[in-house]
Structure 1
Amino acid sequence: MTATATSSAATAQQHLSSTSLVRRLGTTGRGMDLCIPRSSPPGLGSAAEMSEEDRLWPGRVRRTGREQLRTWGLDILCEPVELCLSELVTNAMRYGRGPVVGVRLYRTASFLFIEVTDGSPERPVLGVAGSDEESGRGLALVDAIAESWGVSEDGTCTWCRLSVPEEQP
């Protein structure tokens, strides 16, 4: 990373922290973009090492996503979207490398998309957790709920897609 990129990220982090806990970068009838400043060191891999503030973000993002779905009249998707948002944001906070986590929720006529950007080029892997393990099921849940999911070519963004139900007469 260049010195300019590092200082830009630090400036963005400072600006976001000083103006609000979460900054809504843009909202339209078709989508919502959130930028969440991290307070834990990047790439911890363990919930026990995450700051209390970072542990609160998945719940906050779930509530914000629920509000957006209600605005769109898609209350029926609240539970699956909240679960996907929670799992993807938790993974980004635990394993991400960037100073911020980006969350994008948008829709088309047929699909609802969730994108979570964490700044880490390491691609998440769909694992199999043992029955006694307390973690490791996040992507398996996303895989079971979403119509499809994947990772950007550079590894920094994990996304999933859910079908939007057809409008009832």
Structure 2
Amino acid sequence: MNATATSGAAPARQRLSSTSPVLRFGTTDPGMELCIPRSTRPDLGVEGEMSEEDKLWPGRVRRIGREQLRRWKLDDLGEPAELCLSELVTNALRYGQGPVVGVRLYRTASHLVIEVADGSPDRAVLGVAGCDEENGRGLALVDAVAESWGVTEDGTCTWCRLSAPEEQR
């Protein structure tokens, strides 16, 4: 997964983990899981191109995520969670290698965790996008709103963690 960020962005708070955050952060909440079938065949297309069907998925995932947050009474995390979901899912669909993209949301006592698995061993990295570039700012946005984010050791899952407001813990 390739990703870049704007120049002058704050230093990344990326944390690399050898296991899924669900094991690191500990939770008994099964959360919400989605399996998105990719219509773009990465082995046949140009890296970074998405089919018209795949372009619809980030918006769908935002809406599904927002509804799950309502159920958990975490409405205050709606905007940052939607942004993180959208950026991570877009990157996975654009640069991932597997036939499906897996999305998981779950909550701990104090956080919302978002995981997106794309089947690619290529790690997502925070880079630098030029002023005239239309793409390449997704991870910079995730870095700006998430408390922490990272990539599993095998590179197949990018995750982020958002702090729940005190009154919703």
| TM-score normalised per structure 1 | 0.79
SS of structure 2 residue aligned to 1:61: helix
Aligned residues of 1:29 and 1:72 also touching (Cα < 8 A): no
Unaligned 5+ segments in structure 2 are: 1-27
Structure 1 or 2, whichever has the larger Rg, is 1
Whose RCO is larger (CA < 8 A, sep 6+)? 2
Matches within 5 A, 1:9-158: 31-42=31-42, 44-46=46-48, 49-158=49-158
Higher helix share: 1
Q: What is the rounded CA distance, in whole Å, between the counterparts of 2:139 and 2:50 in structure 1? A: 19
SS of structure 2 residue aligned to 1:40: coil
How many Å apart are 1:136 and its aligned residue? 0.3
Length, aligned pairs only: 139
How many Å apart are 1:125 and its aligned residue? 1.1
Aligned to 1:165: 165
How many Å apart are 1:167 and its aligned residue? 1.7
How many Å apart are 1:107 and its aligned residue? 0.2
How many Å apart are 1:124 and its aligned residue? 1.0
| TM-score normalised per structure 2 | 0.79
SS of structure 2 residue aligned to 1:94: helix
SS of structure 2 residue aligned to 1:167: helix
Large movers: runs of 4+ above 3 Å: none
Deviations 1:3-50 (A, max 9, x none): xxxxxxxxxxxxxxxxxxxxxxxxx9651000000000126432xx31
